[in-house]
Structure 1
Amino acid sequence: MIQETFNKKVRKSKEITISTDLVVIGGGTAGVCAAITAARKGIKVTLVQDRPILGGNASSEVRLWILGATSHMGNNNRWSREGGVMDEILVENLYRNKEGNAVIFDTVLLEKVLNEENITLLLNTAVYDVYKSNDTKIESVKAFNAQNSTEYNIKAPLFCDASGDGIVAFKAGASFRMGAESKEEFGELFAPDKSYGELLGHSMYFYSKETDKPVKYIPPAYALKDITTVPRYKSIGKDDKGCRFWWFEYGGRHDTIHETEEIKYELWKVIYGVWDYIKNSGEFEGVENMTLEWVATVPGKRESRRFEGLYMMKQQDVIEQTKFDDAIAFGGWAIDLHPADGVYSELSGCTQWHSKGVYDIPYRSFVSKDIDNLFLAGRIISATHVAFGSTRVMATTGFCAQAVGMAAAICIENDLNPAEILENGKIKELQNELNIIGQSILNVPIQKASNLINSADVKASSSLSLSEIPFDGDWFQLSISSAQMLPLKANQNYSFKVKVKATEATTLKVELRTSEKAENYTPEVIIETQAFDLQKGQQFIEVSFSKRLEKNQYGFVTFLSNENVSIKTSNKRFTGILSVFNGVNKAVSNNGKQTPPENIGVDTFEFWTPHRRPKGQNIAMEISPAIDDFSSENLGNGFVRPYIKSNAWVADLKDEKPTVKVVWDKEKELSEIKLFLDSDYDHPLESTLMGHPEEVVPFMIQNYVIKNLEGEILFTKQGNYQTINQFKFDEKTKLKGLIFEFDHPSENVPASIFEIYCA
């Protein structure tokens, strides 16, 4: 028994002091990815999260799906899903939870963090104060856990604020902004003529379910009475749920930090009023047995403070795809801004303007310009309101925060402040370390000198020579224009033989297209157009283009829409080969073509996007000359996804036992081997609600062995589904070479690898 007598003084809570290398405040996707990345590099991390679970807006408390540059496959950013830890988490979730259960995703995140012995995780713990050793340096933060009634004093040389509202950066005195900059300040044509304080608001969602008997619903007194005050109420569907109601948004004209509770009550008012409308208005059939299953209790925040770093990203950096020497990640979500009145606005729920491709995000935007030992991460990074419209989404914030975690490890190892990473070549070290974990910084490959495979003789048992995409699939009606993307060579004349079926005599137009920028996949350049007179019925046509590409890049063999024509497809899928369609994706304001108003600094262009599996088959064709882009030379080129070319070794499907043999002229000491495999970076892998067709992507090598040159098995892998496979030797091992023996993923998909990394 514990018993204390009366104490005249105020009692103190239990206090615990923690000394660590890096404190990460905020356990959303950004904080999680930063903490895991830093911990895996060997430094001690304390991750402080004020909620009972991790994930922030992606958690089961809010249930927003994670998205980034892939944008629901609704833009032209091919193979752009974020890499590294962010990819690892999403691929793990796909394998365990392809249906998109937000509660299961909670467990995926928590397991990832708990598996890292260098992370001390404090859930239900809110940071509320900051102590500085001088004007520009944080010494410690103070936090309180109401569940265990404990105060924490957490000391460290480095801090990362990924808290969403920027509690640490704010308390430390760092410069910040709220609202929109004027057009004049940064020359952003999409910015308003005058600065204003309106923000993107909060959102809350609900889930409903069908039961086996009628369920009545009596709304609470505070529920919205007049549904017509929600201008978009007629777009409400009885089966819609979760973040498909992203437009249930409110608070843009309020203080989104200090008035969050008031905003929450207004959103509850809307949700319960909407459910009353669905259940009791008589406008919906088949709702008698439906009931509310879940309503959010925590609003998902979009915008509050943005802090000033060493560089502030702006609209032009997104749209014009500015190149930065200190790039550490890429973005690709549209500039996505919402009306301040949210759910009560007469305007569209969002205004999304896409760039033609992905864009660089610089390291400097994550370093506070005022506080020497403070990193910024998540939605509070240094960006204007307009650029923030793109950088704010969760896959992007998690992806970028990996750079913070890696930079923190370099800082601890070298006794540096964050800004000093920009000096003495350390930014190159940071970029390379990130790429080795799968970051894929634009146009920055893994340094060849860091990969021992580049000093070896590498031979494969076979390599794909793509002379035919077999004619073994279904017919696809050309009700929309369609194209086959292929990595083509400059100054080469190509011919393509395809099989078509016409319902009547008609004319089919075929074009060879490509992108202005080699690294983009927006086919705005029409190189050549040909017309073919078709007879009724099935027939082959041979398209021989007389004009050529000027540089090595992806070309689009494009078949313009004609409802009277169908084209033969293929069941075979190949790494780096994709069909795209000039269709529509309303979820991301894609109407087939982006046509912005004049003078807002946004490009006009067409969208050519894939169809999700199990659809999206390649267009069957014979190709002359064959595309030889899949040799073993790609295995050490430093690129671990398609970019300008396939960058993959792909075996021939007829090769029954695909093998890669690596031989050095003398023994090398190896500590680890990494394989970078194909988890289809083009598939968005939304974390919740949406669901996905497979638990393992069809390009993934699942079974293989690694041997030494004497045939002794060093490592065996069965049932793999992850993008990066890492094997560490117990101690450095001298080897003259390695033999990798793979199984094809399936009879329709050949084995493929982007990179074999040996160190």
Structure 2
Amino acid sequence: MQTFQAEPARSFPVHALKADLLVAGGGLAGVCAALAAARDGLQVILIQDRPVLGGSASSEVRLWANGATSHQANNNRWAREGGIMGEIMEENLYRNKEGNPVLFDVVLLDMVQAQPGLTLLLNTAILELEKAGKDIRAVSAFNANNQSWYHVSAAQFIDASGDGVLGYLAGAAHRSGAEGIEEFGEKMAPAENADHKPCHSIYFYTRRTANPVRFTPPGFALKDIREIPRFSRLTSDLNGCDLWWLEWDGRLDTVHQSETIKWELWKIVWGVWDYIKNSGEFPDAENLTIEWVGLIPGKRESRRFIGETMLCQQDIIEQRDHYDAVAYGGWSIDLHPAAGVYSKHNGCRQFHSKGTYTIPFRALYSQSLNNLLLTGRLISATHVASGSARAMCTCGVLGEAVGRAAALCQQQRLTPAQLAQPEQISQLQQHLLRQGCFIPRQQLSTPAGNACVSVSSTQQLQTLAPDGGWHALTSRCAVLLPLKAGEMLPGIRFRLRANGQQTARISLLTSQNPANTCGDRLLETLTFTFEDEAEQSLNFNYRADCDRYLFIAFDQNPEIELALTRQRLPGVMMVFNSLNPRVSKRTRQINEGDYGVDEFDFWLPRRAPDQILAAFTLDRPLSLWHADNLLNGKLRPEQLTNGWVPAQDDRQPWVLWQWEETQQASQLTLLFDNDFDHAMESIQMGHPDAVTPHCTTHYRLWLDDALLAEVTENHHSLCHHDLPEGAHFRQIRLEIVASAGEVPALYGLHLHQKPAMP
């Protein structure tokens, strides 16, 4: 029993905390930033104003996390995010392949809580900030649940708050709304640009019950569904992210008027549900109940802070490679009408680049302050470019980049602007690559020093047996096959069968940019007539001018069937000139009007478990998965497969790295295959497998003659192992015991020193 006497006044307690780094915002960008910096030795405090982590991917909003793969609906093959963002998606796939948003919360909370050096403050809002000149010194934050103030001082700050709470309170230069066409020459910039921003969205989920469910709408629900011009799109089976277009209003202040926007969205959602339940247009909705409605909106854009450069439309469409590239994107430029559901225009306009684009470090820190790094949707980008860079998995990649940058700045007493200089930036780029962060068109220097590599066997590609049934050519399709610079494409034989006499037309395509896989360059076309079933030989007179992927493309003819194989191989696949309605309305991108974008075909893979691969035989074998790939510093298929694969009949595969001189390192990283083409959406869609088929699930790692580790249930592409302190060695041996069902693949072993504590 406690009794408290009356006092003139009271104040809430204040907890004083100190850290090397403060991260504001616990969305995917903030989570990745905090984890990266803590793993690099910093003492980190992550402040999140919500009860869970994940931002728009959390159970509070329930938008699926996605990024450069764009639902596997563009030409960005093997583009899924790596590093910590990839680790999160792979862990979620393993624990939560069905896509439960509450379980995704748990994955994030578990990773953050388990990380040494990382302190998490949930339900805590930053309200005040202290500065000295151009340096942020501390923040004051309040937690209404425990009625406590926190005064947190730090040397480095990362703003991952979405709305830019740190940058705003610190007075940093920023923008809101859309730039005009004339400022950056962006042809996608809206003609009416005043306060034009993408809208907020709120979703809902439904559940089918055994008995009819009655629904009485609240008084504030939308009364006339015809106020929504797109109401005819509504069906009774729409759920969650499928309702992304229930959005409003990009013309208001998306920060200070968020509550106004939320109430209008609730009006829309409950009006939509009233229409589905009570209009009589949907008889199958009688036994449906609404199970969940978002309590806070998902926000697409608000403040964008000004760095040393601004990402713009041309950076994306032209795939500009910046000297200080530290991250990448690949989602379409995805712009929404400011009026949202009340607009008569389409819900969004999406234009894709031909491949992935890079994001410069100079866009990831404030030009106004010495120690404020930026990540997530508030980075230095135009309204148009933000339409792509704001994709959540892209934000996660940006988070890891600034988290590791903060550690380098702290350890070497650099400002972000100093780290961005040409003579400094490579150390951040190489550090990111060594940690498994893919940066397009960059490679890791000497991943294993001057090691010599030997392997138990190597897969050769010559014959894929026709044991997988048949595929009718109901649309254009192609085998995607890499070829080394200077190498001739061998003759190739496919087995076809026809309904009567048919003419087949098969083309050899490649991409103008050899790093792309968009098939926008025709090399040669062969035409032949046949009937019944026959093996057809193709001889394209082509020698590769550089490392590049080729498309062996079959024209549409539903009267012809192509023999398939059951075998699956990393870095080789079939793609289809088809559309995914989630991100496109056609099988080809069309520039309707002068929007400054390219026209090209979409060549899409099929999602698991519906992938297929053509059977074929080559006149001579191709060595696509040579052991030398383990030393080329490439982290995944790009221009070549860049991996090693053991022979199909090798029951005990091994790799041996040997050095003439004794080596010393504190950590090594293995990079296995985990299907970098798989979008792995975090929620709702569901996935057939908890582990992708080529992933190495059981392996042993030897340091000279000592067993360093045996891992029996691996489900990650990146596997980090600490070496004993002071360990010296001349060889490392990896024994692959098992995979998840298909041949395993390995991209490299990276030796490195763990970052020194500041």
TM-score after normalising by structure 2: 0.97
| Separation of aligned partners in 1, 2:665 and 2:126 | 43
Describe the superposition over 1:661-686 as per-residue Cα deviations: whole angstroms up to 9, x where unpaired.
Answer: 22222432243232100111101110
Which position in structure 1 is the counterpart of 2:507?
A: 511
Paired AA for residue 156 in structure 1? A
| Separation of aligned partners in 2, 1:544 and 1:651 | 28
| Separation of aligned partners in 2, 1:110 and 1:632 | 39
SS in structure 2 of the partner of residue 519 of structure 1: coil
Describe the superposition over 1:630-682 as per-residue Cα deviations: whole angstroms up to 9, x where unpaired.
Answer: 11111121111111111101111011211112222243224323210011110
Which position in structure 2 is the counterpart of 1:4?
A: 4
Q: Report if aligned partners of 1:743, 1:751 keep a CA contact under 8 Å in 2.
A: no
1:476 aligns with 2:475: no
SS in structure 2 of the partner of residue 732 of structure 1: coil
Which position in structure 1 is the counterpart of 2:726?
A: 732
1:185 aligns with 2:183: yes
| Separation of aligned partners in 2, 1:255 and 1:706 | 55
Give the superposition deviation at 1:2. 3.6
1:294 to 253, 276, 292: 292
Give the superposition deviation at 1:270. 1.1
1:104 aligns with 2:98: no
| Separation of aligned partners in 1, 2:541 and 2:621 | 17
Describe the superposition over 1:446-466 as per-residue Cα deviations: whole angstroms up to 9, x where unpaired.
Answer: 121xx3x34222111111110
1:743–1:32 CA distance, 2 compared to 1 (3 A): same
Paired AA for residue 228 in structure 2? V
Give the superposition deviation at 1:79. 0.5
| Separation of aligned partners in 2, 1:235 and 1:732 | 65
| Separation of aligned partners in 2, 1:549 and 1:307 | 44
Give the superposition deviation at 1:434. 0.7
Paired AA for residue 321 in structure 1? Q
Which position in structure 1 is the counterpart of 2:746?
A: 753
1:155 to 149, 153, 156: 153
Describe the superposition over 1:215-246 as per-residue Cα deviations: whole angstroms up to 9, x where unpaired.
Answer: 11111111111112111112112111001100
Which position in structure 1 is the counterpart of 2:519?
A: 523
Which position in structure 1 is the counterpart of 2:37?
A: 38
Q: Which shifted more, 211-220 or 81-90? A: 211-220
Give the superposition deviation at 1:382. 0.3
Paired AA for residue 686 in structure 2? G
1:715 aligns with 2:735: no
Which position in structure 2 is the counterpart of 1:671?
A: 666
Give the superposition deviation at 1:286. 2.1
1:131 aligns with 2:146: no
SS in structure 2 of the partner of residue 95 of structure 1: helix
Q: Report if aligned partners of 2:484, 2:640 keep a CA contact under 8 Å in 1.
A: no
SS in structure 2 of the partner of residue 702 of structure 1: strand
Describe the superposition over 1:505-547 as per-residue Cα deviations: whole angstroms up to 9, x where unpaired.
Answer: 1111001100001101110111000012021x22111111123
Q: Report if aligned partners of 2:157, 2:371 keep a CA contact under 8 Å in 1.
A: yes
Which position in structure 2 is the counterpart of 1:618?
A: 613
Give the superposition deviation at 1:194. 5.5
1:566 aligns with 2:561: yes
1:534 to 530, 533, 539: 530
| Separation of aligned partners in 2, 1:308 and 1:26 | 19
1:577 aligns with 2:575: no
Q: Report if aligned partners of 1:658, 1:751 keep a CA contact under 8 Å in 2.
A: no
Q: Report if aligned partners of 2:454, 2:655 keep a CA contact under 8 Å in 1.
A: yes
Q: How does 1:133-532 map to 2 (within 5 A)?
A: 133-134=132-133, 136-193=134-191, 195-423=193-421, 425-448=423-446, 451=447, 453-491=448-486, 492-532=488-528
| Separation of aligned partners in 2, 1:688 and 1:297 | 18
Describe the superposition over 1:85-122 as per-residue Cα deviations: whole angstroms up to 9, x where unpaired.
Answer: 00000000000000000000000000010011211100
| Separation of aligned partners in 1, 2:336 and 2:580 | 18
Q: How does 1:615-654 map to 2 (within 5 A)?
A: 615-654=610-649
Which position in structure 1 is the counterpart of 2:46?
A: 47
Q: Which shifted more, 493-502 or 106-115? A: 493-502
Describe the superposition over 1:151-200 as per-residue Cα deviations: whole angstroms up to 9, x where unpaired.
Answer: 11111111111111111101111111111101111111211345321211
Paired AA for residue 732 in structure 1? G
Give the superposition deviation at 1:142. 1.1
Q: Which shifted more, 562-571 or 184-193? A: 184-193
Q: Report if aligned partners of 1:527, 1:548 keep a CA contact under 8 Å in 2.
A: no
SS in structure 2 of the partner of residue 140 of structure 1: strand
Q: Report if aligned partners of 1:206, 1:242 keep a CA contact under 8 Å in 2.
A: yes
Q: Which shifted more, 200-209 or 581-590? A: 581-590
Q: Report if aligned partners of 1:181, 1:195 keep a CA contact under 8 Å in 2.
A: yes
Give the superposition deviation at 1:494. 2.5
Q: Report if aligned partners of 1:580, 1:616 keep a CA contact under 8 Å in 2.
A: no
SS in structure 1 of the partner of residue 656 of structure 2: strand
| Separation of aligned partners in 2, 1:595 and 1:423 | 39
Describe the superposition over 1:591-629 as per-residue Cα deviations: whole angstroms up to 9, x where unpaired.
Answer: 110001242210011100100011121111112332212
| Separation of aligned partners in 2, 1:151 and 1:324 | 42
- Structure 2, unpaired ranges of 5+: 753-758
Describe the superposition over 1:196-221 as per-residue Cα deviations: whole angstroms up to 9, x where unpaired.
Answer: 21211100011110111221111111
Paired AA for residue 30 in structure 2? G
Paired AA for residue 746 in structure 2? I
Q: Report if aligned partners of 1:488, 1:555 keep a CA contact under 8 Å in 2.
A: yes
| Separation of aligned partners in 1, 2:589 and 2:58 | 33
| Separation of aligned partners in 2, 1:679 and 1:531 | 38
Describe the superposition over 1:689-747 as per-residue Cα deviations: whole angstroms up to 9, x where unpaired.
Answer: 0111110001101112123454x433211121111112212323222212222135266
Describe the superposition over 1:541-571 as per-residue Cα deviations: whole angstroms up to 9, x where unpaired.
Answer: 1111123332220001111111111111111
| Separation of aligned partners in 2, 1:708 and 1:23 | 38
TM-score after normalising by structure 1: 0.97
Q: Report if aligned partners of 2:324, 2:422 keep a CA contact under 8 Å in 1.
A: no
Q: Report if aligned partners of 1:140, 1:155 keep a CA contact under 8 Å in 2.
A: yes
SS in structure 1 of the partner of residue 259 of structure 2: helix
Give the superposition deviation at 1:13. 1.1
| Separation of aligned partners in 2, 1:273 and 1:518 | 50
| Separation of aligned partners in 1, 2:322 and 2:474 | 41
1:114–1:420 CA distance, 2 compared to 1 (3 A): same
Q: Report if aligned partners of 1:673, 1:727 keep a CA contact under 8 Å in 2.
A: yes
| Separation of aligned partners in 2, 1:503 and 1:423 | 64
Describe the superposition over 1:40-85 as per-residue Cα deviations: whole angstroms up to 9, x where unpaired.
Answer: 0010111000000001100000000001100000000111011100
Q: Report if aligned partners of 1:336, 1:389 keep a CA contact under 8 Å in 2.
A: yes
Which position in structure 1 is the counterpart of 2:755?
A: none
Which position in structure 1 is the counterpart of 2:548?
A: 553
Q: Report if aligned partners of 1:49, 1:125 keep a CA contact under 8 Å in 2.
A: yes
| Separation of aligned partners in 1, 2:702 and 2:112 | 32
Task: Say what the alpha-carbon RMSD is for the aligned residues.
Answer: 1.4
- Structure 1, unpaired ranges of 5+: none
SS in structure 1 of the partner of residue 14 of structure 2: strand
SS in structure 1 of the partner of residue 163 of structure 2: coil
| Separation of aligned partners in 1, 2:352 and 2:25 | 29
Q: Which shifted more, 486-495 or 301-310? A: 486-495
| Separation of aligned partners in 1, 2:382 and 2:498 | 52
Give the superposition deviation at 1:6. 3.0
